[in-house]
Structure 1
Amino acid sequence: MDRFLLTTLLLSLPFAHTSTIYEWDEFDFNWPSEQSKQKYFKGGGKFEPDDLRPNFLAVYEERIFLSLYQRWSAPSTLVSFPTAITSGPAPPKLTPYPSLEMNEKGNCRVIQWAQGLQVDALGRLWVLDSGFNCPSKIWIFNLVHGDSIELSYQFNQSLELYDIALEKTQEDDWLAYITHESESKCLIVFSLNNRRSKTVCSEWKKFKAIAFSSLEKKLFFSQFDSKELYSISTEILKTTSSIKHPNRIVSWQAVNCYRMLFDNSGVLYAAFLKQTYIETWNAQKLNKNRFFLNGGDYLARTPFTFALDTSGIMWIMVYKTWKPSRHKLLRIPIGDNSFSTNASQVCRNGGICVSPTIPTAPARTTIFGTDKNPELSAHGVNDTYCDNKPLLFLNIVLSCWNVFSLFSIASQILWFRKIKKTQDSIAEIKKAERRDATNRASTDSPDPIYEEIESFPSTSALCETRY
């Protein structure tokens, strides 16, 4: 079984043809020239491939855009590469986007720390720039017209921006909903037409991952430190500064959701920290699926990131903490199927299990953090795990062995206690016998016997007689 989690996971799904597009042992960069490379390193720049890992992913036509963690270990925090190999068997190098100069460290007029990425329907790439030591920004690049900068909106401070979701309104405006890296209680709502932003806060715990449903006109978000998924109408977010009564939708299988997105058919895809599966929620059919790897030992904190293109293709960048093939790019046609497949078929292919869709009653509107519907508690949506025969047999054997070991240990403990009790009884009996013998010796002794002995004359008398 391939230990590379998502490769195994997605290659085993029978509903679509899955392709491994690229494999990297480590990332490398395309430098504009040898002079620019030397200038970068002479200026104190660092390049440590082992420290780089994928963050956010976006796709437009034949290009993939990727933001990277470990900003100071690479010449660029935002890169691009082609969706298909153009020449040679080697995977492509990462090209700084839109240029190396636009990623210059310490220059607050350019990109400093790229985070959330999103491509809108007009072919524009939205980039969140946390700024690091500079004010945070929203960048918009026009991918249709030569990657020109359409907007650079600067906030008043460094906000550690994280995730972004876009909405095209009926007023022909584009709204960006933005969360914070620190799992803040507040959302930022930015209007492109007005070039203004506002903050909408909650009376609730922190959240991080968000996704916009164009079918329902709602913003979905997961409470970061719990399993709960909520939604709220974007009409409310446009007219208020506080979130009081969102709709509770469903409980995930894990906490700490770090990435979510919707496809065109209304299926929500979610990923979780340190978890080896993708969970889905169908907002139209009110059911959910889960795709996971039995026995996975994935070490990465965020093992993958993913994005959908306009043609219904899901692109997934997988990351692991060891070589070879530290990074992999996978391509999966999703279309209208949205991971709808047969669980038994999946389980026979590499041990990947897909829980069948289970109808779930709609959740009631609740106050944040309060569950007033026991049927939709953290354990209220029952996922059915697949029947993986080899693993099931192994689980049965191990369970029987555990039961046998438990009874064996318990029997030995009881036996040792019985022996100890017997030994204590024998010692007590012997002690009592010795005590009784001592008592009899002191109370039942007979009087001493004396014999009368005839008197004999003394020696001096005898001497007098002789003389």
Structure 2
Amino acid sequence: MVSMSITPTSAKRPGRVGGRGLFREVFKWSTVEFKYPSEDEKSVALISGKYRPENGLPLGLEVWKPGVGATLATVPLPQLQKKMVATSPILDPYPSWSWHTLDTCNGITSVFRVAVDDCGRLWVLDSGKVDVVTSVKPVCPAQLLIFDLKTDSLVWSYKFPKLQTPHGSLLTNIVVDVKQGKCHDAHAYVSDVFRYGLLVYSLREDKSWRIDHPYFYPDPLATKFNLDGIRFSWTDGIFGIALPPEDVKTGNRSLFFHPLSSFREFSVPTSYLRNETGSEQKDPFRKVGEPRRRSRGHASGSAFDRQGVLFYNLVSKSAVGCWNSKTGVHNPHTQGVVARDPKGLSFPNDLKVDHNPDQGLWVLSNRLHKFLYSTLSPNETNFRVYTGKVKELVKGTPCGPGYVPPPQRKQRRKCQDQ
């Protein structure tokens, strides 16, 4: 199954991306359509204005194995054959319509991202905000909902305290850290893109805390965007967050992150994030290597595979980039591009690496810039989901196995007498 988070707003043959035929278009849509219990209920929703297909925008995705038996919806995962034709399935609200039709805050308000952990649970990040295009209107408290994917039943829920979600905040991304396979000892890391913070939730303690740091802020020199001739300025902070595999010997790892309006990557040990009281020791936050992507542009969603390769969407270049963290070197020479397509990957927004033994990379593109500053034609394909096998995508790139980065040059500092 593929789950998609859909945000409500107030307003050919499948493509082979990247030139090597390794990235395939699985789904495509012109507008978002939902499966209603009946045609009568759908007609009533259309007439009343509660359902406007043109106002739905897919923002996030997650993948789990087939057989696991609206702002959050699912589509059936097809058999990924080489000659498959991309389909445009109707989205089925998850876990049921009743979660999306309540007028109280007991249901689901507005999901931006979801995450599947290694314990077969779906973590749903509900921002509680609507009209995010114009005003970021708070309707309900931001919350986490955890579903058992075997039964599609809610196993736990948690509402973030108001003090941890200041006015104007927007929770947009989530990753789940299950410590050494212990399902009860799980933490969720949640990014606040507009108020530049990171929320940490402990499942075992059933509590959360907020962490603030200058690295969560946008880079003032990286706020200008130019996509398809559309120029705009964004001051989006921490957005892409990703967890590499645990260290085999120590079990430790760091959270890698970057603001959307930035060209840098940063990291912080998860041991620091999981400690609510913090530490008086030296600042544990680190910049990772040189300013990355400066010649390639801004990055949105990101994710690691089991081999330690970090994948990230290059929104300014309609591409998907990669970096093999095991090289120990982070610079332009150790980063590659696994897919590029100005049309098919027009604003690649979310990205996931699935949990299958032979891992696959999944990317959602949604033409967000045109949705916000221009118009989306109902006669064109606007939303796409692509996939490809990780081990095939990295071949021939600096992210592939056996790649040896070139020796680093020592930087010379120019001195000037005062």
TM over 0.5: yes
Q: 1:222 to 1:43 in 2, by over 3 A?
A: same
Partner of 1:135: 141
- Secondary structure of residue in 1 paired with 2:42: helix
Change (3 A) 1:101 1:215: same
The alpha carbon displacement at 1:109 in A equals: 0.9
Q: Distance in 2 between matches of 1:342 and 1:207?
A: 27
| Change over 3 Å in CA distance of 1:109–1:43 after alignment to 2 | farther
One-letter amino acid of the counterpart of residue 197, structure 1: S
Q: 2:122 matched to 1:125?
A: yes
Aligned to 2:405: 359
Cα pair distance change 1:155/1:63, threshold 3 Å: farther
Equivalence for 1:252: 292
In structure 1, the gaps of 5 or more residues are 65-75, 344-353, 363-372, 376-467
Number of residue equivalences: 329
Matched position secondary structure for 2:17? helix
In the other structure, the counterpart of 1:169 is: 179
Is contact 1:78–1:96 with CA below 8 Å preserved after alignment?
yes
Q: C-alpha displacement at 1:291, in angstroms?
A: 4.1
> Is 1:236 aligned with 2:272?
yes
SS at match of 1:228: coil
> What amino acid is the match of 1:305?
D
1:71-94 alpha-carbon deviations (Å, 9 max, x no partner): xxxxx11110101179x9963210
Q: Cα deviations across residues 365-394 of structure 1 (Å, max 9, x unaligned)? A: xxxxxxxx959xxxxxxxxxxxxxxxxxxx
Pairwise CA distance, 1:292: 5.7
Larger-gyration structure (1/2) = 1
1:139-218 matched pairs, under 5 angstroms = 139-144=145-150, 146-157=151-162, 159-170=169-180, 172-182=184-194, 184-204=195-215, 205=217, 206-216=237-247, 217-218=253-254
Match of 1:73 in 2: none
State the match for 2:372 in structure 1.
none
Instruction: Say whether the 8 Å CA contact 1:63–1:82 is kept in structure 2.
Output: no
Q: In the aligned structure 2, how far is the partner of 1:290 from the partner of 1:119?
A: 26
Do the aligned residues in 1 keep the contact of 2:28 with 2:384 (CA within 8 Å)? yes
Kept in 1, the 8 Å contact 2:264–2:293? The answer is no
**1:208–1:23 Cα change, 3 Å:** closer
Q: 1:22 to 1:282 in 2, by over 3 A?
A: same
Cα deviation per residue 1:197-248 (whole Å; 9 max; x = unaligned)? 0112214434221101123411001143321111111112122547934222
The residue that corresponds to 1:434 in the other structure is none
Moved over 6 A (4+): none
Q: Are the structure 2 counterparts of residues 90 and 13 from structure 1 closer, same or farther at C-alpha, using a change threshold of 3 Å?
A: closer
Given that residues 300 and 350 in structure 2 are in contact (C-alpha distance below 8 angstroms), is that contact kept between their aligned partners in structure 1? no
Question: In structure 1, how many angstroms separate the alpha carbons of the residues matched to 2:240 and 2:397?
Answer: 29
Q: Which residue identity is paired with 2:389?
A: P
| Shift in CA distance, 235/361, structure 1 to aligned 2, threshold 3 Å | farther
> Structure 2 vs 1, CA of residues 227 and 90 (structure 1 numbering), >3 Å: closer, same or farther?
closer
Q: Which of 21, 26, 30 is equivalent to 1:21?
A: 26
Shift of 1:252: 2.0
Distance 1:224 1:374 in 2: 28
SS across alignment from 2:316: coil
Equivalent position SS for 2:271 = helix
RMSD: 3.4
Q: Distance in 2 between matches of 1:318 and 1:292?
A: 12
Match among 74, 81, 84 for residue 75 of structure 2: 81
* Residues in 1 aligned to 2:197 and 2:86: alpha-carbon distance in whole angstroms: 46
Tell me, yes or no, if the aligned pair for 2:17 and 2:344 is still in contact at 8 Å.
no
Is 1:310 the counterpart of 2:374? The answer is: no
* Residue deviations 1:164-215 (CA, integer Å, cap 9, x gap): 1111124650010110131x33211101111110112214434221101123
C-alpha distance 215-150 of structure 1, shift in aligned 2 (>3 A):
same
Distance change >3 Å, CA 236–CA 77, structure 1 → 2: same
The share of aligned pairs that are identical, in percent, is 23
Instruction: State the one-letter code of the partner of 1:233.
Output: P
Q: As a proportion of its length, which structure holds more strand? A: 2
Normalising by structure 2, we get a TM-score of 0.69
Are positions 1:104 and 2:114 aligned together?
no
Tell me how far 1:105 sits from its aligned partner: 5.9
Match for residue 329 of structure 1 among 385, 388, 408: 385
